[in-house]
Amino acid sequence: MAKDKNGSVIGTHLYTFVDRKQLSDIISGDRLINADNTVGKLYVHNDLFCLVPSVLFDPSLKSTYINFIGAADKNLTEIFYEGVDSNNIQVVGAIEKEIIGLLDDALPDLEITHGASLVLSYLFKDINEMLGQEVFVFAEENNIYLAAFAGSELKVFNRFSVSNGHDLIKYILTVMHQLAFDRVHCRISLFGDFSMGVELEDLKLYVKNIVTLEPRFNQTYSPGAETFKGANLLEAFCTT
């Protein structure tokens, strides 16, 4: 996604790739990445992330936090963090340095953040409008971010792989059971791409208060660039 000096989206390119070689070819050939600009922001969507309360956070221990989630060799992995919820929570993430190296020449001033930061920043903006029991699901291809709030307090947040509607129902019901949420009164809000085979009527067999929503915008599009909204990615509607 490319933006002008006023922050309006002026161009987007959407790719899929199956291996590191294809990704390298995309990065080296994309004209938006290789335009006359050194600044960029990369949103990383993977399972290597964790949330740390800021009162307990020590930047020098970022590798330790990540290794509670999965093994991350600090010599091969770039570890980063970003504050959300008025800096009350730090989202610590990781990505292979090899991938960052592919972008270094074109975007030496690259900022890296985890996709979880974007999801949480979006949710915390409306925390004062939440019901007593809320579950939010952001879907992108075969993965979801699932967040649960009780009394405007974040109780659960994670990222899961899903391949069908049964997987989605399993994760939603498991979280609701853990938090003792009421299936009638808890509101389930769905955002994003549910092309993995989720039917709203199937979900209503298990929970009653369920809605599908389109994220609200915090960015503008120049004429011709609006088609990117059809990608159903959260980044198409808002960025941090």
Q: Render each residue's pLDDT in the chain as its tens digit; 240 residues.
A: 999 988 899 999 999 999 999 999 999 999 999 998 889 999 999 999 999 999 999 999 999 999 888 777 878 999 999 999 999 999 999 999 999 999 998 999 999 999 999 999 999 998 888 889 999 999 887 899 999 999 889 999 999 998 887 888 899 999 999 999 998 889 999 998 777 666 777 777 888 888 888 888 778 899 888 888 888 889 988 887
CA distances from 223 to 6, 103, 220 (A): 14, 28, 10
Give the per-residue pLDDT at 73: 81
Interatomic CA distance for residues 194 and 5, integer angstroms: 34
130's tokens: 């939440």
Domains in the chain, start-ordered, CATH in brackets?
A: 2-118 (3.30.420.250), 125-212 (3.30.420.260)
Half-sphere exposure of 177 (CA within 13 A, CB side): 7
